[in-house]
Amino acid sequence: MKKTGSNYVAGCSKVCKTASPACVSGAAAPCYQECCQATPKTSCLKLDGNVHFNGAGQVALAPILKLLACVDLCLCWPFLDHELHAVQGILAGEESVESRLLGLVRTHGEHALFLYTHRRMAITAEDVCLERVVPITEGFAAEEVTPDSDLHIIGSDVTVQISSEDAQLVVRLPFGSHTRTFLQEISKCRPGVVGSEDINENEKNLVVNHSWSHNSDDKATPRQSESKMDVTSEMVRSSSGMVSDKACILSEQKFGLRDTIVKSQLVLKEDSYTYLQNFRFFIGTYNVNGQSPKESLLPWLSHYVEPPDVYCVGFQELDLSKEAFFFNDTPKEEEWFKAVTDSLHPGAKYAKVKLVRLVGMMLLLYVKADHALNISEVETETVGTGIMGRMGNKGGVAIRFKFHNTSVCIVNSHLAAHTEEYERRNQDFKDICSRMQFCQSDPNLPPLTISKHDVILWLGDLNYRIEPLGLEKVKMHIEKEEFQGLYQYDQLKKQMDAKAVFDGFTEGKITFQPTYKYDTGCDDWDTSEKCRAPAWCDRILWKGKNISQLNYRSHMALKNSDHKPVSSIFDIGVKVVNEELYRKAFEEIVRSLDKMENASIPSVILSQREFFFKDVKYMQLQVETFTIRNGQVPCQFEFINKLDEDKYCKEWLIANPSKGFLLPDSEMTIELELFVNKSTATCLNSGEEKLEDILILHLDRGKDYFLSVMGNYLPSCFGSPIQTLCYMREPIRDMSAESIRELTLLPLQMSDDIFRDEKPLDIPKELWMMVDHLYRNASQQEDLFQQPGLRSEFEQIRDCLDTAMLDTLLGSNHSVAEALLLFLESLPEPVICYSLYNNCLHCANNYTLSRQVVSMLPMCHKNVFNYLMAFLQELLKNSGKNHLDVNILASIFGGLLLRPPPQHPAPDVTEKRKAQQFIEQFLLREGNSP
């Protein structure tokens, strides 16, 4: 086989029969072996699978990889019979990461590792260039390592450290069977590796001994029963593409405009190279009420005869302790993980794919071992929707992944409690949907939202209740098994019918009695003082095509909690890739792309270039949209940084998506989201900053477009300093911009004669209004400061404080309580000044010293601190009704009143506990009522 130009010609020739062998000195040249004269610009491939050339030690070796690039687009060369292997990886340097092609080559019985730089997708020989050769000799080693930066990223690639006498490299390779084969072949090539036993041992050291599953949201190490010890999570890992042998092209991480277009076109042509195959999914949800596992989960997880292909198991209220709530730390995670692993269907072996937890919500994903290599692109995300919109006692956790060529998103959520809070539950659902975003492996693509998946499975304690039926009527329906009649009063059904929540989702027919609330340890309905009415709190819904629900039921056999677990079995049609058809589609796309690539520079039309946001308010999102219409050339776009700026926009603005690509004649809608929060409100209140920005929309290989963004901000007490508010006797909206600016910029420690004609208020009137409202109306309110309010009510409360249009605050007690916490969080200088932060931590166990620290505060800050302590002491007097205690209040307010300075590292658990202890000291002392 001889290379001429960019072509290779194979066959028998008369020249070969008569010419002296040129490839290997002294070798015979029978007809089955085409020989050629090898020169620095040509090389030849003997049909025994080896690459040969004259002067192997001196000749430039680029032709070898040019052969690789031309032989097969997906870099798999089965006809070379293990003599040549290649993989694409990332070369990690001290300051940058760069893509490389790695080739393992044998010549004359010796092996070497060839590293090539490349551009685009290395479709043609001219796209690659030899960078270095690493001989595999004595002293060569290739070992998998876990960089410090990757400890928390289970989706990272396989990191391999390559060492030789004159080279030290670290490369990241895409996880999958192709990489595993490549590493195994390197292991076989190492000097001294002789015989199958040595090879197997080396392969084990190189490839098998991994810690695939350790990261911050995946802490539990797989501990399966003896029958399952040989199937662990090392078989599954996030990667940039499919990891099956049949689709090794998709596992290559190649980013850029050309590659993004190819992938996009492949998605459009997906039906031409995939076929549907049904796989069985088990979906289960269980609110365990803070209990440890005391009974086998087999009746729930292994109830069905046929073992499922995929397990998705969700828990809520895993741990109800204060440590779990405030520090997200619990031993229950390991306990329930082991209980699930031990109770998976005994008829199959399973590999754990992922575990993710947020406080009491945990989600586990397992697959059958023989499906493990078909799982890819695994990512997790969490969203807390509890108090202040962040606390994780309520919210959702999710795992997204690709199964063959179908994208799947599993969401486990715990929504707001109490019968009357259905609107809050609706809001929780919307918050999870809007805030749950998964990073993509291609940095040129925007994050994926839940809705951008082929299959969505949503499970959890959704907390929707049955109303307006009374307790006895509900129980009467249940006794008669009139479940469909009772279902007509179900809040979730009503809200779905009104399209207020779960729009487009489907729930199967409910044929089982409500799953909440039972007395623990039996099947009796709640006999506690509250005597909760039964409800279908625990639900499973789905969205997508080719989904068939086979079963939907509860499991009464489990009595460990006040909830009953629920399960559902689905047959889901998954898109499986046909390798041959995929290759044809890929080659067609590349050919057509080559033709159009140099046609002209990209050009787009923007529907709008100037935007004005009117009357922007604190923590109230405003959105403006425009469309980008593309011309005849594919284009990559991105909002880029302006000169001397490290971000493409101001902190209060975001473009969604901020980058992407457009096929010819296509268009995309861009949302400009303006949101003022605690980090930007102060400068906007004072007028130091304006709502003004210029965005630069850059086209790859094209020109830049400039967008003007402006708006007017309505000043708010939120984000204003305590001292400023104490000098404001009028509502902040009634004051001139100059007055607000002057008061906001006052130094914190000022002399008494700056304002001789006016004495400041002892505390801000806005703070007094909120505390006074809670003192009069919410002293006995259950779950105060632990259950969030409604966003619409917060906006009413904010407007009331900023305008004083009403004498009383509107909204529920929970909404006022949350507004108070948000107010304290928004203070640019916390109640306990930054300068005293470390002093407070040092004297957290000494009340006398703590009082001395408080006495050092500016007068207005000291007044606020004492006022709040007195108020919290009053709440504790009603702890029998509101269920508050010193630990809860100290934990909540400790992190708000005592915050680390801006440049201080994020506080660890020890610092958080000291802040809590500092506040506890004052709550345990008697004080005066507010």
Which residues have CB under 8 Å from 735's CB, separation 6+?
715, 728
pLDDT digits (tens, 9 = 90+) for 606-630: 999 999 999 999 999 999 999 999 9
- pLDDT exceeds cutoff 70 at 666: yes
Pair 720, 703: CB distance under 8 Å:
no
Q: Is 197 exposed, middle or buried (0-12, 13-18, 19+ CB in 10 A)?
A: exposed
* H or E element, residue 377: strand 375-384
Name the architecture of domain 85-187: Roll (2.30)
Q: Which two tokens stand for residue 833?
A: 């000044």
pTM for the structure as a whole:
0.68
* H or E element, residue 890: helix 886-897
Residue 786's pLDDT is what? Answer: 87
**Residue 262: band (very low, low, confident or very high) from pLDDT cuts 50, 70, 90:** confident
- pLDDT exceeds cutoff 50 at 567: yes
The shares of helix, strand and coil residues in the chain, as percent rounded to the nearest 5, are 30, 25, 40
Q: Which residues pair with 412 in a beta bridge?
A: 397, 459
**Residue 30: band (very low, low, confident or very high) from pLDDT cuts 50, 70, 90:** very low
- pLDDT exceeds cutoff 70 at 47: no
Topology (CATH) of 604-713: Immunoglobulin-like (2.60.40)
Q: How far is CA 183 from CA 142, 143, 178, 208, 373, in A?
A: 8, 9, 9, 11, 17
Distance CA 726, CA 737 (A): 17
> What residue segments make up the domains of the chain, in order of their start?
85-187, 274-577, 604-713, 774-924
pLDDT digits (tens, 9 = 90+) for 854-902: 999 999 999 999 999 999 999 999 999 998 999 999 999 999 999 999 9
Q: How far is CA 459 from CA 27, 317, 573, 754, 848, in A?
A: 69, 14, 20, 60, 51
3 state SS for 557-612: CCCCCCECCEEEEEEEEEEEECHHHHHHHHHHHHHHHHHHHCCCCCCEEECCCEEE
Residue 240's pLDDT is what? Answer: 30
Q: Which two tokens stand for residue 109?
A: 């019985």
Among 881, 891, 825, which Cα is nearest to 321's?
891
- Weakest mean pLDDT among 37-51, 439-453, 555-569, 621-635: 37-51
Amino acid letter, residue 917: Q
Burial 329-359 (b: 16+ CB within 10 A, else e): ebebbebbbbbbbbbbbeebbbbbbbbbbbb
Distance CA 895, CA 915 (A): 7
- Weakest mean pLDDT among 161-165, 366-370, 645-649: 161-165
pLDDT digits (tens, 9 = 90+) for 101-160: 888 887 777 888 888 887 544 444 556 788 888 888 888 888 877 655 433 333 346 788
Which CATH homologous superfamily contains domain 774-924? Answer: Rho GTPase activation protein (1.10.555.10)
Pair 719, 725: CB distance under 8 Å:
no
Distance CA 426, CA 423 (A): 5
Topology (CATH) of 274-577: Deoxyribonuclease I; Chain A (3.60.10)
Which residues have CB under 8 Å from 131's CB, separation 6+?
100, 115, 116, 117
Amino acid letter, residue 307: P
pLDDT averaged over the chain? 81
Distance CA 114, CA 105 (A): 7
**Residue 21: band (very low, low, confident or very high) from pLDDT cuts 50, 70, 90:** very low
- Percent of the chain past pLDDT 70, that is, above it, reads 77
> Cα dihedral sign for 432, 434, 439, 440?
positive
Among 207, 130, 142, which Cα is nearest to 170's?
142
Pair 88, 101: CB distance under 8 Å:
yes
Residue keyed to tokens 């006074």: 772
pLDDT digits (tens, 9 = 90+) for 376-426: 999 999 999 987 776 778 999 999 999 999 999 999 999 999 999 999 999
From edge to edge, which strands make up the β-sheet containing 128-135?
128-135, 110-118, 97-107, 84-92, 167-173, 158-164, 141-144
